[in-house]
Structure 1
Amino acid sequence: MSRPVIAIAGLACETSMFTPARTRAPAFHPRRATEIIDEYPFIQPGTPLGDAADWRGALIGHALPGGIVVRESFEELAGEIITRLTDIVAATPLDGLWFDIHGAMCVEGIDDVEAELLRRIRAVIGSEVLVSASMDLHGNVSRDLAHLTDLITCYRMAPHEDEAETKERACRNLVDLIAQRGDGVHRPFKAWIPLPILLPGEQTSTRVEPAKSLYELVPKVESLPGIIDAAIWVGYAWADEPRNRAAVVVTGTCEEVVAAGAERLARRFWKVHADFHFVGPTGSFAECIDAAVKSPARPFFISDSGDNPTAGGSGDVTWGLTQLLARPEFQQESGPTVIYASLPGPQAVQTMVAAGIGATVTVTAGAEVDSTHGGPLTMTGRVHAIRHGDKDAVIEAVLQVGSVFAILTQLRKPYHHEHDFTDLNLDLRAADIVIVKIGYLEPELFDMAADWLLALTPGGVDQDLERLGHRRICRPMWPFDKEFPVLPDLGARMIPPYDSSL
């Protein structure tokens, strides 16, 4: 018996609608054909999944979170996906498609763009091809997206330590379903339940309650006979579309069990919706720095959360670094050692490269994209380090101003790993204070921190959702609304299989 043919396509970009930044096609770093197979070890030849199907890459693109995707760029990438899928379908009958997405992408002039992209894909591959989607739990699942897929799953951990596991699960479920379909198995039943909850990721980390227990229930529901997959989406809080809210989707072969499983998860989520709080202690930026200076804990980490580039912030808001450098205790080299990551400044970086390590320079950086919370920042300091070739930053340079070591970049970059700093001759473990544009700390930083505070700073991914100005989300919505005159409907909506003839 010949192996099933499965195509791979998708675009992913977590998109803040509250930053003036824009995302263009090159930011997606598109991969095509066999480049996609090379990206994922679990579908490579010689692995169980790799040998179970004939995987055909169309195009995938994963952009660093950022601002709204320019319409022309989306049309360029989506058009190439359609062209490549058309060629695949013309060459061989297609059995399945893995839809590799994030779920929180926003494009100029299009609502619910992942559903729109899959609608275009369905026009090429038809309604009989089985589609399995893998997503971030901070994505959004509209009714249309649930309808257009046959299987849909998401991460169960935040931070997302199970990203590869989730994508492999989506592919394994798809391969299994294709095999069972040959035995006459019906297409899966799908239960979808939207919930009027919209929370930032920093309040829904699965390290702590109530998300910890809520997500521990997911595999218990999934293990029930008649269920293929169970998933809970927190939704994406920094966009403003009607689909932005939490959701539960359960798929399986027994309609009654699928519906009951979805309702069990939705009821638990709603029961604890008011119990979500920030994953760690919070404060204003000044309060966090005051606490770090007074604390004996070293290194003391502070999250400059409002401009977090991995949540969709522009990364070039100068507000945090401006406040830091204004503090008198850091204005002498003998002050507490502070590492700050990071601030884009292409011209500043070029000046530092030209001057060389050890030189004293005056440079200006930041606010080229987002000047809402402060203009460009001018600094005089010593060039501490320079590094070329980073895949995101391209060039990085460290400027020592007093006792502050500020990382400046040609292009914005997230700083999640210890090597991101040691590559720049910065020793996190020997620092007094480390300030990173991030929300909850990623695993390496979390394990290293002797103490940590989440600073509630301004920016495109401001943790204070209510001051951002959402206008199009469905109301009432927690936490924007504290009173619900009518309790939400937590009953399962059974979503029919996609049929192009309807």
Structure 2
Amino acid sequence: MPPSRPRIAIAGLGIESSTFSPARTTAPAFHPLRGPDVLTRYPFLAPGQPLRAAADWQGALVGKALPGGTVTATAYADLTDELLTRLKDLGPLDGLWFDIHGAMTVENLDDAEADLLHRVRKVIGPDTVVSTSMDLHGNVSRALVHRTDLITCYRMAPHEDAMDTKERAARNLVDHLTSGAPRPLKAWIPVPVLLAGEQTSTRIEPARSVYAAVEDVEAAEGVTDAAIWVGYAWADEPRNRAAVVVTGHDEAAVTSGAQRLARGFWKARHAFEFVAPTGTLDECLDAALASAKRPYFVSDTGDNPTAGGAGDVTWGLRRILERPEFKDPTGPTVIYASLPGPAAVDTAVRAGVGARVTVTAGAEVDDRHAGPLTLTGVVHAVRHGDRDAETEVVLTVGGVQVILTRLRKPYHHEHDFTDLELDPRAAEVVVVKIGYLEPELFAMAADWKMALTPGGVDQDLTRLGHRRVRRPLFPFDPQMPDPDLTARIIAPSDAPLTGPDE
């Protein structure tokens, strides 16, 4: 008899790790939640919510880090050991919700999430049903699919459906455990395409139509879930590529659905384009100054901290400060977000708002493209207590309002600026270290261009130097023959793992 109220644990580690960034990620960056605090991450598991009442939810450990560099072996070992200990202490479980990102790279380890789930399986046993939720920029190997029972990912980029996806993964698990059905079938297809997220945004075609087909496949009789992973472009591992997985109880339905999605993605490969007009940084700034649209946003894409960039590349800000039109405080107003510089922040804090200071910031982690940058300006604002940055200051240098941070931080919301006494809507130009604009910025921007700048998440993938990805792979091999997109039916997780991770 299936349990009427199954006992389910929640565990996982999530990060995007660029192997092309010199940065390293340590354990505190994951801000792990433990025990009952884990449930506070998910609004749909708040007391009184139907899904909360449908199962006995037990938090183990869930840690999510800002995208960054490779995770140190020590950090992975420490977090994994604690996660496994907490799972062991929970005792017998009916299910596990494995909440991950899917693009975590660990020193001296390939396929970190599959390794983590392998270790988890040793604790929870083969009979515990596992449901995995992921970012669509995660990587899905045969080993990961084998070790989970249900698996799904976001269907929107930007990820406006992140919490909906997590709820779907949790609900699918509860529904399965209370149904008494046998373990689902899993049809997996690796697709030899590796594209940046900014080329595969669901705001535009062809990704909009490619992903629209997911719900059609999921709606078929005998299908539980369908998913397409774009993969993570800024790491160099054999698993980095697109993938499709369809789960359910009808082999013909999951097979045909997976093949439809994989072939649709492959067919569209040449049509994927950047989600916004692109150019060099100077070209984007020229366009912004020539336009009457305000505010005009420019993405400094190569050092995007939400894709894995170190965040402290000074190349872009240096070019901006060198332009004569931005040296005049009565000229165009530019906001630049942002540049880490702990010592610079300390100096500005000590001096206080209104003081004129000279500070040096940036290039402490990634100095490959430009060295540390010295700025002289007036302290406009100071703010303490940010979760990511810890302390932020604004330094006005000519017409440029530069945000300096103790630690790197993404700037995705209007309040990120207004909390610093900045008015992005009144600025002529807002330059943000980002790829595609997140929803609030996208809504605020009167116009927008993406600057193809250097850094650990360079949008020009072919110049980054991938050496370990499986070849042939589009776009590295643009004339490659059509691949075998036949669905591989992966054995249940309690069976031995067989077949190549092809």
Q: Same fold (TM over 0.5)?
A: yes
- What is the identity, as a one-letter code, of the residue corresponding to 1:245? R
Secondary structure of 1:370's aligned partner: coil
Match of 2:32 in 1: 30
Match of 2:170 in 1: 171
Which aligned pairs between 1:414-453 and structure 2 lie closer than 5 A?
A: 414-453=410-449
Which aligned pairs between 1:71-470 and structure 2 lie closer than 5 A?
A: 71-89=73-91, 93-181=92-180, 185-470=181-466
Deviation at 1:9, TM superposition (A): 0.5
Secondary structure of 2:259's aligned partner: helix
- The CA distance in 2 between the partners of 1:312 and 1:77, in whole Å, is 20
- The CA distance in 1 between the partners of 2:65 and 2:29, in whole Å, is 5
Deviations along 1:273-310, one digit per CA (max 9) or x if unpaired, are: 11001001000001101111111111000000000000
- The CA distance in 2 between the partners of 1:301 and 1:95, in whole Å, is 49
Secondary structure of 2:253's aligned partner: helix
Is the Cα–Cα contact under 8 Å of residues 127 and 498 in structure 1 kept in the other structure?
Answer: yes
- The CA distance in 2 between the partners of 1:396 and 1:44, in whole Å, is 32
Secondary structure of 2:378's aligned partner: strand
Deviation at 1:39, TM superposition (A): 1.5
- The CA distance in 2 between the partners of 1:225 and 1:70, in whole Å, is 44
- What is the identity, as a one-letter code, of the residue corresponding to 1:104? A
Match of 2:500 in 1: none
Deviations along 1:35-76, one digit per CA (max 9) or x if unpaired, are: 001111212332111001000111010000000000001000
Secondary structure of 2:17's aligned partner: coil
- The CA distance in 2 between the partners of 1:314 and 1:500, in whole Å, is 41
* Total equivalences in the alignment: 495
- The CA distance in 1 between the partners of 2:494 and 2:170, in whole Å, is 22
Is the Cα–Cα contact under 8 Å of residues 452 and 458 in structure 2 kept in the other structure?
Answer: yes
Is the Cα–Cα contact under 8 Å of residues 235 and 247 in structure 1 kept in the other structure?
Answer: yes
Deviations along 1:345-387, one digit per CA (max 9) or x if unpaired, are: 0000010001011110000000000000100000100001100
Secondary structure of 1:67's aligned partner: strand
Deviation at 1:487, TM superposition (A): 1.6
- The CA distance in 1 between the partners of 2:321 and 2:436, in whole Å, is 24
Match of 1:43 in 2: 45
Deviations along 1:174-201, one digit per CA (max 9) or x if unpaired, are: 00000112xxx22101000000100000
- What is the identity, as a one-letter code, of the residue corresponding to 1:22? R
- The CA distance in 2 between the partners of 1:148 and 1:377, in whole Å, is 48
Is the Cα–Cα contact under 8 Å of residues 126 and 500 in structure 1 kept in the other structure?
Answer: no
- The CA distance in 2 between the partners of 1:345 and 1:465, in whole Å, is 28
Is the Cα–Cα contact under 8 Å of residues 345 and 365 in structure 1 kept in the other structure?
Answer: yes
- What is the identity, as a one-letter code, of the residue corresponding to 2:417? F
Instruction: In structure 2, list runs of 5 or more residues that go unmatched.
Output: 498-502
- The CA distance in 2 between the partners of 1:410 and 1:257, in whole Å, is 52
- What is the identity, as a one-letter code, of the residue corresponding to 1:363? V
Deviation at 1:2, TM superposition (A): 5.0
Aligned partner (choices 474, 488, 492) of residue 487 of structure 2: 492
Instruction: In structure 1, list runs of 5 or more residues that go unmatched.
Output: none
- What is the identity, as a one-letter code, of the residue corresponding to 2:223? I
- The CA distance in 1 between the partners of 2:422 and 2:495, in whole Å, is 57
Secondary structure of 1:315's aligned partner: coil
Is the Cα–Cα contact under 8 Å of residues 318 and 343 in structure 1 kept in the other structure?
Answer: yes
- The CA distance in 1 between the partners of 2:462 and 2:267, in whole Å, is 22
Secondary structure of 2:357's aligned partner: strand
Is the Cα–Cα contact under 8 Å of residues 8 and 100 in structure 1 kept in the other structure?
Answer: yes
- The CA distance in 2 between the partners of 1:102 and 1:77, in whole Å, is 15
Aligned partner (choices 67, 70, 77) of residue 68 of structure 1: 70
- What is the identity, as a one-letter code, of the residue corresponding to 1:28? F
- The CA distance in 2 between the partners of 1:291 and 1:3, in whole Å, is 59
Q: 1:482 to 1:359 in 2, by over 3 A?
A: same
- The CA distance in 1 between the partners of 2:328 and 2:493, in whole Å, is 65
Deviation at 1:266, TM superposition (A): 0.6
Match of 1:18 in 2: 20
- The CA distance in 2 between the partners of 1:45 and 1:219, in whole Å, is 30
Sequence identity (%): 67
Q: 1:77 to 1:500 in 2, by over 3 A?
A: farther
- The CA distance in 2 between the partners of 1:2 and 1:258, in whole Å, is 28
- The CA distance in 2 between the partners of 1:195 and 1:138, in whole Å, is 13
- What is the identity, as a one-letter code, of the residue corresponding to 1:434? V
- The CA distance in 2 between the partners of 1:303 and 1:208, in whole Å, is 18
Match of 2:55 in 1: 53
Deviation at 1:501, TM superposition (A): 6.6
Secondary structure of 2:385's aligned partner: strand
Deviations along 1:196-253, one digit per CA (max 9) or x if unpaired, are: 1000000000000000001111011100110000000000000000000000000001
Is the Cα–Cα contact under 8 Å of residues 4 and 178 in structure 2 kept in the other structure?
Answer: no
Deviation at 1:500, TM superposition (A): 6.1
Structure 1's consecutive aligned runs of 4 or more residues displaced over 2 angstroms after TM superposition are none
- What is the identity, as a one-letter code, of the residue corresponding to 1:378? T
Is the Cα–Cα contact under 8 Å of residues 25 and 69 in structure 2 kept in the other structure?
Answer: yes
- The CA distance in 1 between the partners of 2:69 and 2:262, in whole Å, is 31
Is the Cα–Cα contact under 8 Å of residues 203 and 279 in structure 1 kept in the other structure?
Answer: yes
- What is the identity, as a one-letter code, of the residue corresponding to 2:308? G
- The CA distance in 2 between the partners of 1:88 and 1:501, in whole Å, is 26
- What is the identity, as a one-letter code, of the residue corresponding to 2:485? L
Deviations along 1:395-414, one digit per CA (max 9) or x if unpaired, are: 00000000000000000000
Structure 1 range deviating more: 265-274 or 40-49: 40-49
- The CA distance in 1 between the partners of 2:96 and 2:82, in whole Å, is 16
- The CA distance in 1 between the partners of 2:285 and 2:253, in whole Å, is 51
